[in-house]
Structure 1
């Protein structure tokens, strides 16, 4: 009984002639077996929930959450290609939401620093004259 599903080969060992002690050397294998395992596609549900709660500009977090749930449903149903497509869409929407929120935070910090600087200059100007 072979659990791997491949035929078993019986190989005769050759005697070592090189003078070293030890077991005989087996001939070099002629075939290489490569096992390709397909990983389950990612659905990015946790990232989508965080995007929905914290980073939700233009409802991108909600759309990412919907596609993540669709990807999880497709994965459970066995449709791996559909799960990959929906997971990829959810990932792109999460990235877009993160970029938009980062830009908005950067604009807010720049605006706040300019307003504070102008307020200091105005106070300094009024106290000087």
Structure 2
């Protein structure tokens, strides 16, 4: 098994190898310069931050109506109303699933389907 070794250039240091110059701090500045110029952190490509934007914004039959309503009532109030509407719709789906005897997995599937349809129609624009 081969051991990886690293070396720090010792040019300009007094008593290199004895350790006395580091203990007294007389060449600390040179040590910092030599180490920082050789110790490089490999640069990784940065990931793009995820965008929390609807890909169907402006698309769909009801998108223009939704966008005009959002501009009229304001974004904060509109999002509150949208949240309440989504919650009510989820409750309706839940009650429907209870009445027909559907299990939780089927209910979740119906809620996901409702979201996809809402995006396609433009309700989530």
Instruction: Classify the TM-score, shorter chain.
Output: under 0.3
Higher helix share: 1
User: TM-score, with normalisation over the residues of structure 2?
Assistant: 0.23
